[in-house]
Structure formats: structure tokens, C-alpha cells
């Protein structure tokens, strides 16, 4: 919304400069109007993307059949998908933020990365002792998964955040 307002101000300034006449005023007007148009377009696209994201990750209607909560592991390592440190992503994760799961193979075994839907990067992984349960829930139900809790802790004199995820299970249609 801020981009749209600032874009409108630039466009209005450009139109005003155009009415002044003269070569430098025309050049200034073209630059201001172009910058205003870019800002307005950028603001409208961001609004559209936000609406699409919220629609895609809106929680299903009704009461879940079951819920399962667990604490993800591997939060002190680098991201496998995307760039950056998981600890930085976990520090900005908020309760209720949507996550999704990305299965992959690790040393010949099934592993599941917990991905932030907002940043499209992994926050950590499903613990090895919970992989069968999580994989079973993902296959048997329609799920809505969200960050349940973010807890700060210190490890080797560095601050990190531990993230708990809740999977809400709904019957498949």
C-alpha cells in the first residue's frame, strides 16, 4: 500500500512538472511519471501475491480429526534448500506461520525437511524417530501445518531458536 501511495505522489509530481514546460521539466516529468508507474505496479503485484499466498495457505474449515506436534531438529545448520542459516529463519518464524514438508533421501533413508511457506526455505528437519508418524499423517490426511511455538536457546555461546510444528489432520475428500 505504501508503494502505491508513493507511486501516486511521484506520478502527480511528474504531471505537475510537465505543466511547467521547458526541456528539463519534460525530462523530469517523464522520469517522475515512470518511477510512479513502476511503484504503483510493484505495489499492486505485491498485494496480489499476498492475497494468493493467504488463499493457498488458509486453514481448512472445520475441526481437525487429529493433531500432532513435534519439535524440529537441525536448526543450527545451513539451509539445504535456499541460502542462509536456519537459525536466522527460525528467529523470524512466527506462531501460526504455515509450513510444508519436503521428503528427500538421506543416507538411504527417508528424511523430511520442514519448509517455511513464506520464505520457501527449510527451517529444519523432522526428527528421525518421528518420520514414520509424520509420513503416515501426510499420506492419510489432508493436512494444515503451522509453526506452533518458537523458543530461544543458547548453544556453544550462540543464540538459536527451536521451532515446534503442529500438523492438523483433516479427512481426505
> Domain limits of the chain?
2-56, 66-170
Cell of 22: 521547458
- Residue whose C-alpha is closest to residue 103's, from 76, 143, 139: 139
- Write the pLDDT tens digit of every residue in 86-145: 556 655 667 788 888 999 888 898 989 888 888 777 778 899 899 999 999 989 888 888
| Greater model confidence, 113 or 52 | 113
Question: Which SS3 state, helix, strand or coil, does residue 81 take?
Answer: coil
Q: Could you tell me how many residues make up the chain? A: 173
Cβ 126 vs Cβ 70: under 8 Å: yes
Cβ 131 vs Cβ 113: under 8 Å: no
Cβ-based neighbours of 106, under 8 Å, separated by 6 or more: none
pLDDT at 12 over 80: yes
Cβ 149 vs Cβ 79: under 8 Å: no
Cell of 155: 548453544
> Percentage of residues in the chain with pLDDT exceeding 70?
84
Helix (H) or strand (E) holding 123: strand 122-125
Report, as an integer, the average pLDDT of 22-47.
84
pLDDT at 169 over 80: yes
Give the chain's mean pLDDT.
Answer: 80
Please give the pLDDT value at position 13: 84
Please give the pLDDT value at position 133: 92
Cβ 32 vs Cβ 17: under 8 Å: yes
**Backbone region of residue 4 per phi and psi (left: phi > 0; alpha: psi in -120 to 50; beta: other values):** alpha
**11 — phi, psi (to 5°)?**
-65, -45
Q: What number does CATH give the domain 66-170?
A: 3.30.70.2330
Residue 57 half-sphere exposure, CB side, CA atoms within 13 Å?
Answer: 17
Least confident window among 13-17, 36-40, 97-101: 13-17
- Residue whose C-alpha is closest to residue 95's, from 151, 40, 55: 151
Amino acid at each position: 500500500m505504501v508503494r502505491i501511495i508513493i507511486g501516486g505522489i511521484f506520478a502527480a509530481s511528474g504531471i505537475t512538472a510537465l505543466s511547467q514546460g521547458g526541456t528539463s521539466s519534460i525530462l523530469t516529468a517523464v522520469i517522475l511519471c515512470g518511477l510512479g508507474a513502476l511503484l504503483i505496479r510493484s505495489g499492486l503485484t505485491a498485494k496480489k501475491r499476498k492475497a494468493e499466498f493467504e488463499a493457498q495457505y488458509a486453514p481448512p474449515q472445520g475441526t481437525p480429526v487429529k493433531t500432532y506436534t513435534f519439535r524440529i531438529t537441525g536448526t543450527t545448520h545451513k539451509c539445504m534448500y535456499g541460502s542462509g542459516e536456519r537459525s536466522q529463519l527460525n528467529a523470524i518464524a512466527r506462531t501460526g506461520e504455515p509450513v510444508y514438508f519436503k521428503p528427500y533421501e538421506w543416507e538411504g533413508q527417508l528424511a523430511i525437511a520442514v519448509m517455511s511457506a513464506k520464505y520457501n526455505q527449510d527451517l529444519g528437519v523432522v526428527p528421525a524417530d518421528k518420520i514414520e508418524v509424520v509420513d503416515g499423517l501426510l499420506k492419510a490426511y489432508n493436512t494444515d501445518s503451522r509453526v506452533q511455538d518458537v523458543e530461544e536457546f543458547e548453544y556453544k555461546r550462540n543464540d538459536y531458536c527451536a521451532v515446534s510444528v503442529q500438523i492438523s489432520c483433516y479427512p481426505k475428500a
